[in-house]
Structure 1
Amino acid sequence: LLLKKSNWINRSKEKLLQKKGKALDFSQQAQLYYQGQAYPLRLIEQTKKRTILIFDKEVFLLYYHHYDEVLFQKHVDNFYKEEAKEFVPLLVEKWSDQMALTPTNIRFRKTKRQWGSCSGKNVLSFNTMMMKLPQDVIQYIVIHELAHIQHKHHKKSFWELVEKYMPDYKQHVTELKKYTT
């Protein structure tokens, strides 16, 4: 049955990956980015029937029982989400204190088009994939979204507030344009 349906399974898997964005390379030369640095990704087949992704600050290790790129992608996405939930609130707290602007809540999700947003109710949302970006660019995104608590637009007063807390913000805007979500 699996052999009969293998073409359908592969097509479905490709469609799912296309919906979720660019497919990751899970070859032996693969790399994952974390806070602006590229780290090698090593795939290690194991007898345990589970998949686990470990990052030891030098290399990503992906232990698996059955080769499944869709499952691997879920583990990578989950890694970025958990890291964002741990790292970004610390930045929000730091900059929130300095800027005297407090969000009502912070949310995280993987999005296709935005690195962050600020709702009308001052809820900050961040793209979990921002954990691939350099730390200074991540800080720029946090400052940018916090500034939207005071200014719900991108007029001169908004950019003046961003510049007050990050004088070199234009450099980060330029760098951010190199990346896709």
Structure 2
Amino acid sequence: MKLKRELKDHGFSYNLIRSPKRKTLSIIVRANSDIDVLVPTRTPISFIENFISSKSDWIKKKLHFNSEIRPSVKVKTFTQGEPFLFLGEPRNLDIQTGRRAVAMGEDHLTLTLPASTGNEKKTALVRRVIEKWYRQQAEIHLKQRTEQLAKVLGKSPTHVGVKGYRSRWGSCHLDGRIYFNWRLIMAPAWVIDYVIVHELCHLIHHNHSKDYWALVESVMPDYRHAKVWLKTNCNTLDL
């Protein structure tokens, strides 16, 4: 259950999300500055607000980072000439009439739609078709690069797939399965490589210990640059 609430005396509101599966309280400040507070179902409001108050300085730092450091992003309209990122480079959308398809050129992304597509449904259709294409391209690129980088590490996953995560870029399971956020295909290739290396190293160290980060650095010495880029620009990687 999701409920919008305002925290008095702190100047921000938050989304209260109760779940019977949760055992602890958690706060997520998203790239668009939405604040989600995840709590067990029966947690009293007074306890929740005391918890948020104790984290208010941290929350305000995150909000400041979003407003002052992260680049501003316009809401997508899915119209002619609008730029869409692919491997870190913008491609301007070119909508044509024809059999439904997506093709990428050097500086454009051509989308063809049947002439019978009505204007009232066009925006939603353009979004669906582009997202499907992004997912397909992400699966191809991420599987290929994971296979290549796994050879460097000497450790391969049991499966590689893509998912529509909202608050993570990848995940590594104890049985060796690795999944990536399809939105990564919008990031520069070297940033994608960092996420792949990050998850591959979890096949050896399923934690974030010093040994884990030493392993990441041995494969990708400049990983910190990619990590900062992703933290700063994550809000640009979406439709």
Which amino acid in 1 is paired with 2:228?
T
Tell me the secondary structure at the aligned position of residue 150 of structure 1.
coil
- Residue 107 of structure 2 is aligned with which of 48, 52, 58? 58
Query: Is the partner of 1:86 in helix, strand or coil?
Result: helix
CA offset digits 1:48-105 (Å, max 9, x no partner):
5x53222123211122231422221111111111112221112111111110111010
Q: Return the offset for 1:23.
A: 5.7
CA contact (8 A) 2:78 2:127 kept: no
| Matches for 1:112-131 after TM superposition, within 5 Å | 112-131=166-185
Q: Is 1:111 matched up with 2:165?
A: yes
Query: Is the 8 Å Cα contact of residues 24 and 73 (structure 1) preserved in structure 2?
Result: no
Q: What letter matches 2:101 in structure 1?
A: I
Decide which of 89, 94, 118 is 1:37's aligned counterpart: 89
Structure showing greater relative contact order (alpha-carbon pairs closer than 8 Å, 6 or more residues apart): 1
Gaps of 5+ in 2: 1-73
Aligned length: 157
RMSD of aligned Cα (Å): 1.7
Does the residue aligned with 2:215 lie in a helix, a strand or coil? helix
Measured in 2, the distance between the counterparts of 1:117 and 1:23 equals 28
Matches within 5 A, 1:82-93: 82-93=136-147
Contact 2:90/2:107 (<8 A) preserved: no
C-alpha distance in 1 between matches for 2:131 and 2:172: 22
Instruction: Give the TM-score, by structure 2 length.
Output: 0.62
Aligned-residue offset at 1:163:
0.3
Following TM superposition, where does structure 1 have runs of at least 4 consecutive aligned residues deviating by more than 3 angstroms?
A: none
> Aligned with 1:108: secondary structure?
strand
2: CA distance, partners of 1:23 / 1:121: 39
The structure with more radius of gyration: 2
Using the size of structure 1 for normalisation, the TM-score is 0.80
Q: 1:89 to 1:115 in 2, by over 3 A?
A: same
More helix by share: 1
User: Whole-Å Cα distance in 2 between the matches of residues 79 and 111 of structure 1?
Assistant: 17
Secondary structure at 1:120 match in 2: coil
1:25 to 77, 81, 96: 77
Q: Report SS of the residue matched to 1:167.
A: coil
Question: C-alpha separation between the residues in 1 aligned to 2:147 and 2:203?
Answer: 14
CA contact (8 A) 2:79 2:123 kept: no
